[in-house]
Copies of this chain bind each other. A is one copy, B any other.
């Protein structure tokens, strides 16, 4: 084996990671899968893709071995291959944020007037949540909540928010979080809540960011309902 052939071979492997992460839609899928495993149909719906196209993108991610799949009955469930993939996705996002100030500007523009909870004092938030001084809402689907959520958080998927509003306190601050700083679910939730006169703010952290910052993660089914 010549030196040139060796280099071509190994660098081709290195480049596969880049190829897999070179499509916005594939990154969106990866971000969703970082919240827990999902069927192709769920992935397609969440990433706003048609199922065939989502399947094709998943094939590419699978070829780069960033995701793994398992069949259960009729459905095929995909998940990130391991925790290092979620870590890599967060690092890719960070590198992009550092390079493109436009990202923060776009996010600020989109999240205008949707107060962002300072993510600096995670311990303080945790304490308030424990003492019941604030209500922490996890507005992702129940399945994602079950696969890992913030301590003391209550699972209220966006679709159920309308129905559950009566059970929320009007005198306490409501802190909504979702999949992370670029997920729109919590923003939609705080919009709905504020329209109805609740005191609601958006937490930029998702489970991934919270855990990466050293915060504790709970798991298991939703309590109450």
| CB neighbours of A73 from chain B (8 A) | none
A72 at the interface (CB under 8 A from B): no
Q: How far is the CA of A11 from the CA of B32 in the complex (A)?
A: 13
| CB neighbours of A123 from chain B (8 A) | none
State how many copies of this chain the complex holds: 2
Q: How far is the CA of A65 from the CA of B18 in the complex (A)?
A: 15
A1 at the interface (CB under 8 A from B): yes
**Do the beta carbons of A23 and B15 come within 8 Å of each other?**
yes
| CB neighbours of A110 from chain B (8 A) | 1, 3, 6
Given contacts A22-B19, A23-B18, A110-B6, contact A96 B1 (CB under 8 A): no
| CB neighbours of A118 from chain B (8 A) | none
Annotate A210-223 by CB proximity to B: 1 below 8 A, 0 otherwise: 00000000000000
Q: A11-B25, A17-B96, A18-B21 are in contact. List 13 more A-B contacts (CB 8 A).
A: A3-B188, A10-B103, A10-B106, A12-B24, A13-B106, A14-B24, A14-B103, A16-B100, A17-B95, A18-B22, A19-B22, A81-B99, A85-B95
